[in-house]
Structure 1
């Protein structure tokens, strides 16, 4: 928002019409002597009256616009920026995302399960204001890709890099949960949350999912589980990161619903089943509504002075007018 620190100076603008009249319209302004000349071989170049009037009008416009900017500079223009300062910490949320080959199933046309999950995570994160969000990816192994952060741009950039079989071809649900619990164990946030997204059974890793969920419960970390995808034969297609070959076929899809329900109950959260893009979106909206913290904020107003820019623009316009009259119009007086 543009404001003026010394607005009283703006009353000087009432004098501008007077000066415009004196310079351009008063009988003694001498405007009849302002002519443009140029030597061309044997005589003077003839300038059409209409063209000369337009050039003089353009010159006057540049000059008086520059004067206006100089006058505005006297008023102390400044940009007022209202910043929201959070007085309390938001929740720490880690999303645990399955990247096994079955996540390439295309029962969320035209997207794969992984693509659809990523898009819904983006919508979920876009609704965050003061919550720190992290990302754990898992296959045979589990890694922390993004620690809980409020730098949502960096989070989304790293999320977009998630690929099928990036971490192996297994589904180590327990390892993924354990990594998330480990990185939330030292968090001082009022609420700590894990959101697990998977479409398969636990078939890899050294830590059982139930053990990881129990650790989360003991530390006061709430766990939500999302079973993504439908059941039955589903086409899949992905590029093997090791061989670079395109893998495709049909997948007999199912996930262990009872396991995910038990994990959510142990972790004090809820289990959601998402078999279509619409239900997946509603799942994230439900979690969004469940995980809310009362915000305490303070509005801080910061001002950025702009008078230097107004002075530079004004001087530049007046200088351009001078050059225009002497070089283009070739004014004699």
Structure 2
């Protein structure tokens, strides 16, 4: 079917009538100054010539105006409705930015990097694979905050994750508050399944909400939480006199992270190096998608150029056809 995007443009159809009604005729104004005692020497007057020759020009001019107004109204061809199935889920990433994430116990290639740098590298690839999901990003330390609300724009989520910095949200860790913020952001979501991926390297040391209490609230709202504990089991520390092997993940509260995942129907993962972290994200890729209501799309094709082209052809005829007799007479002469 045909529709007009700007139907109010048809109000311009009355402009020629308004001009005819309220503006004096141009020919009458020109010939009013010509006074002669007898018309016989002149034969047919110019006014009579215009009347005889202009019988087809006025309807054509009106048709051109009608075509121009029709083009201004933006005619469109509205195609048949097409159903587009939308699959995916509302998925939030909660990333720990506390001071302990600066521990350099991960490797990227041959380079030793801190935990946050390794997380950015692996999580960036995971984000780009989440086609069809609405993604969001929560950063937390002493206090959590939403860095990116739920969006289909995966590029923005990855970019703002890469721009995050250690200590930006404080030195301590508020796991419970981060979960509570995720529950608040996902509570009004349209998806039937909602997922939070929480990544931390420590224990809850700040915040107002206890992690297990936050997990109960999440379970009540149908939010599934996957927790990831990050950090190596051993790390060699060098000093001026000796070398010492320590456990850089001694503060990691695996018991609480496991309980959070179990309460919400999720799962706890342990990432001791970059390779394990990549495998965890590959496992998360196999989450079942949420099927939402189908979106209906109707393709729209613009048609304004057809009446616009016809009006241009008509305008050319109005300009060129009256010039043909004079051009032919010049050639004869």
**TM-score under structure 1 normalisation?**
0.58
Matched, 1:151 2:153: yes
For 1:143-192, what per-residue CA distance to the aligned partner results, in whole angstroms no more than 9, with x for missing partners? 01001100112111211111100010001111111111110011011210
**Range with bigger deviation, 292-301 or 199-208:** 292-301
**Contact kept in structure 2, 1:235 and 1:251, CA below 8 Å:** no
1:40-90 deviation digits (Å, cap 9, x = unpaired) = xxxxxxxxxxxxxxxxxxxxxxxxxxxxxxxxxxxxxxxxxxxx9842352
Q: 1:78 is matched with which residue? A: none
Q: Residues 149 and 276 (structure 1 numbering): CA distance in 2 closer, same or farther, change over 3 Å? A: same
The residue that corresponds to 2:257 in the other structure is 260
Distance 1:186 1:235 in 2: 48
Check whether the contact 2:106–2:232 (CA below 8 A) recurs between aligned residues.
Answer: no
Give matches, 1:65-84, under 5 Å. Answer: none
- 2:174 aligned to which of 166, 172, 175: 172
CA offset digits 1:192-219 (Å, max 9, x no partner): 0000000001111111111111111000
* Mapped partners of 2:229, 2:128: distance in 1: 22
| Long gaps (5+) in structure 2 | 1-81, 239-245, 304-333
SS in structure 1 at match of 2:146: strand
Alpha-carbon distance in 2 for matches of 1:192, 1:294? 12
Does structure 1 residue 283 correspond to structure 2 residue 283?
no
- Is the Cα–Cα contact under 8 Å of residues 235 and 248 in structure 2 kept in the other structure? yes
| 1:233 Cα deviation after fit | 4.5
Cα distance, 1:115 vs structure 2: 1.1
Contact 1:93–1:134, Cα closer than 8 Å, also in 2 = yes
Q: How far 1:278 moved relative to its partner? A: 0.8
- Say if 1:101 and 1:91 are closer, same or farther in 2 by CA, change over 3 A: same
**Is residue 122–residue 277 contact of structure 2 (8 Å, CA) maintained in 1?**
yes
Partner of 2:317: none
The secondary structure found in structure 2 opposite 1:253 is: coil
In structure 2, the residue corresponding to 1:116 is in which secondary structure?
helix
Match of 1:116 in 2: 118
Q: CA deviation at 1:293?
A: 3.9
Tell me, what secondary structure is at the counterpart of 2:170?
Answer: coil
* Aligned partner of residue 272 in structure 1, secondary structure: strand
Distance 1:103 1:303, change over 3 A: farther
> Is residue 194–residue 222 contact of structure 2 (8 Å, CA) maintained in 1?
yes
Gaps of 5+ in 1: 1-83, 237-249, 306-333
2:232 matched to which residue of 1? 230
Question: Which residue of structure 2 aligns with residue 162 of structure 1?
Answer: 164
Mark the CA change 1:140 to 1:289 in structure 2 (over 3 Å): closer, same or farther: same
Cα RMSD over matched residues? Answer: 2.7
Distance 2:193 2:147 in 1: 21
Structure 1 position 141 matched with structure 2 position 139 = no
Cα separation, 2, equivalents of 1:192 and 1:117: 22
Paired residue for 2:268, among 268, 271, 283?
A: 271
SS of residue paired to 2:206: coil
Q: Rate the CA distance shift 1:173–1:300 in 2: closer, same or farther, 3 A.
A: same
Task: Give the 4+ runs in structure 1 shifted more than 6 A.
Answer: 295-305
Alignment correspondent of 2:102: 104
Query: Map of 1:18-37 to 2, 5 A cutoff?
Result: none
Q: Which is greater in Rg?
A: 2
